[in-house]
Structure 1
Amino acid sequence: MEDCLDKTDRQILRLLQNNGRMHNAELADKVQVSPATCHRRVQRLFDEGYISSVRATVNASRVGLGMLVLVGIVLERTPDSFALFEAAMAAQPLVLDCYLVAGDFDYFLKIRVRDMEHFDQFHADVLSTLPSVRQTRTFFVVRSVAEAKEYSF
Structure 2
Amino acid sequence: MDVLLDEFDINIIKELEKDGRMAYSAIATALKISNTMVHQRINRLIDQGIIIGIKPIINEKKIGFDWASFTGITLNKDQDSNRIIAELKNIPEITECYYVTGSFTLYIKIVAQDHEHMRKILYEKIDNIPGISKTDSIIELGCAFKRNVSL
* TM-score normalised to structure 2 length: 0.91
Distance 2:129 2:51 in 1: 35
Quick check: 2:64–2:113 contact (8 Å CA) kept in 1? yes
Residue identity over aligned pairs, in percent, reads: 25
**Matching residue of 2:132:** 133
**Matching residue of 1:95:** 94
Distance 1:58 1:26 in 2: 24
Quick check: 1:76–1:132 contact (8 Å CA) kept in 2? yes
1:73 to 1:118, Cα distance in 2 relative to 1, 3 A:
same
Distance 2:139 2:103 in 1: 18
> Which range moves more in the overlay, 105-114 or 119-128?
119-128
Quick check: 2:78–2:105 contact (8 Å CA) kept in 1? no
Question: What stretches of structure 1 of length at least 5 have no aligned partner?
Answer: none
* TM-score normalised to structure 1 length: 0.90
The C-alpha deviation readout for 1:80-133, integer Å capped at 9, x for no partner, is: x21221111122111100111001111111011101000111112211112211
Quick check: 1:75–1:135 contact (8 Å CA) kept in 2? yes
**Matching residue of 2:103:** 104
2:58 maps to 1:58: yes
**Matching residue of 2:149:** 151
Matches within 5 A, 1:2-151: 2-3=3-4, 5-77=5-77, 79=79, 81-147=80-146, 149-151=147-149
1:111 to 1:150, Cα distance in 2 relative to 1, 3 A:
same
| Root mean square deviation of aligned Cα | 1.5
Q: Tell me by how many angstroms 1:78 deviates.
A: 6.3
Question: What stretches of structure 2 of length at least 5 have no aligned partner?
Answer: none
- The amino acid that maps onto 2:148 is E
Quick check: 1:18–1:150 contact (8 Å CA) kept in 2? no
Q: Tell me by how many angstroms 1:144 deviates.
A: 1.4
